[in-house]
Amino acid sequence: MFNKGFAVNLNFLPAKSPRLLGVDISSSSVKMVELSMMNKAHNTLCLENYVIEPMPKEAMLDGNINNLEAVGGSIRHAWKRMGTRVKNIALALPAAAVITKRIVVPAGQREEDLAFQVEAEANQYIPFALDEINLDFQVVKSIPDHPDEVEVIIAASRKEKVEDRVAAALAAGLKATVMDIEHFAAQAAFELIECQLPEGGKDQVIALVDIGASITRLNIFYNGESVYTRDQPFGGDQLTQEIQSQFNLTYEEAEAAKRNENLPRYYHTDVLQPFCGTLALEVTRALQFFFTSTSYTQVNYIFLSGGCALIPGLEQAVTEHAQVITQIVNPFANMELSNRISLKQLKIDTPLLMIACGLALRSFDPS
């Protein structure tokens, strides 16, 4: 089911293996997560291990692989650090690389009939020849008022987008067996957080704000379904650039200083606080777009993820600007942890691991 974490197999990847590593490839790093099932009867998961491996600068550009050898090398180094024997992995494409369309079709169709109808619909909505794309579909849900109909989601991506990621995995000595979409993978992990809310978050409008290096992504959920997404061109790179400018550092020196907080005392008042205020305004602006383009009028909770989520003062700044309860994501809160996991380090790294966690959950998806 889509609301359990929709994965796009894209017609050329074989069925998933019993155990997968979730691998999130971003412009700044490779995030790799391995989960296991401790107790099937109670769905008790265990975080076996995770790794965050830095990505060489410009190896990824605008969500695309720019240097296959460098990306493959980062994946390989991450896998070696994991200390696992699992070589099957789940990857994800950025939303910008995938065209999705929801359609309503008659229920009870044979698979081949449904596939024929999906292909006909794809010809209408996808601006590429079918031999240039990987195409897949999945039945999402029945229509409450029309029991003889079901909703189907179609997903299509240019072949080279998929093949580049598969090639990077092969260069690392690994095998991509599932290709998901980033915001669907984040949604799968978010279900682990939603269940921590009062009444499981039922009838609550919840915003997941992922703050990356160059993009802040807003994903709005209502009763387990994503109802709105939006990207804002703002992220942690702006803070790095401001540190460069203020303290006359190279980009690499500024990045290191930002991570280690090895900066003069006035950094917090002159650089960090203004950045938090600007980022909070970007989040508020994205929420306003949500309100004006949908029938929703409020958000009940905001969750922060991504590399900037733990910046001191950001959680409070977003709470004050948006007037909404704001928290840091933690999909691992109810999981067991292996003895290889450092609790202190996990607390720092957790906001970066949403997509990789959602991808690792594909090991336990019955679909």
Same domain, 288 and 350: no
Asked if residue 258 is part of any domain, the answer here is yes
User: Residue 22: how many CB atoms within 10 A of its CB?
Assistant: 29
Number of domains the chain contains: 2
Does pTM top 0.85 for this prediction? yes
Same domain, 85 and 186: yes
Same domain, 262 and 282: yes
Q: 30, 11, 105: which is closest to 359 by C-alpha?
A: 30
Same domain, 324 and 344: no
Same domain, 37 and 13: yes
Q: Which two tokens stand for residue 35?
A: 């989960």
Tokens 């003069």, located at residue: 264
Residue 144 CB partners (closer than 8 Å, separation 6+): none
Same domain, 355 and 281: no
Instruction: Return phi, psi of residue 173, to 5°.
Output: 80, 20
Same domain, 345 and 314: no
Asked if residue 109 is part of any domain, the answer here is no
Identify the CATH number of the domain in which residue 244 sits.
3.30.420.40
The C-alpha atoms of residue 16 and residue 90 are separated, in whole angstroms, by 8
Q: What is the pLDDT of residues 90-138, one digit of tens each?
A: 999 998 899 888 888 888 888 888 888 888 888 888 888 888 888 888 8
Asked if residue 42 is part of any domain, the answer here is yes
Per-residue pLDDT of the chain (367 residues; tens, 9 = 90+): 333 444 555 555 555 456 899 999 998 899 999 999 987 666 789 999 999 999 998 899 888 999 999 999 999 999 999 999 999 999 999 988 998 888 888 888 888 888 888 888 888 888 888 888 888 888 888 888 888 888 888 889 999 999 999 999 999 999 999 999 998 899 899 989 888 888 888 999 999 999 988 889 999 999 888 889 888 888 999 999 999 999 999 988 888 888 877 889 899 999 999 999 999 999 999 999 999 999 999 999 999 999 899 898 999 999 999 999 999 999 999 999 999 999 999 999 999 999 999 999 998 875 5
Cα–Cα–Cα angle for 46, 49, 54, nearest 5°? 145
313: domain range? 206-328
Asked if residue 147 is part of any domain, the answer here is no
Same domain, 44 and 73: yes
Same domain, 71 and 169: yes
Determine contact, residues 153/102, Cβ cutoff 8 Å: yes
Same domain, 64 and 165: yes
The C-alpha atoms of residue 86 and residue 253 are separated, in whole angstroms, by 35
Q: What is the pLDDT of residues 46-70, one digit of tens each?
A: 999 999 999 998 899 888 999 999 9
Asked if residue 177 is part of any domain, the answer here is yes
Q: 25, 80, 20: which is closest to 54 by C-alpha?
A: 25
Asked if residue 268 is part of any domain, the answer here is yes
Asked if residue 111 is part of any domain, the answer here is no
Asked if residue 353 is part of any domain, the answer here is yes
Same domain, 316 and 346: no
Residue type (1 letter), 101: K
The C-alpha atoms of residue 244 and residue 331 are separated, in whole angstroms, by 34
The C-alpha atoms of residue 155 and residue 180 are separated, in whole angstroms, by 10
Same domain, 182 and 40: yes
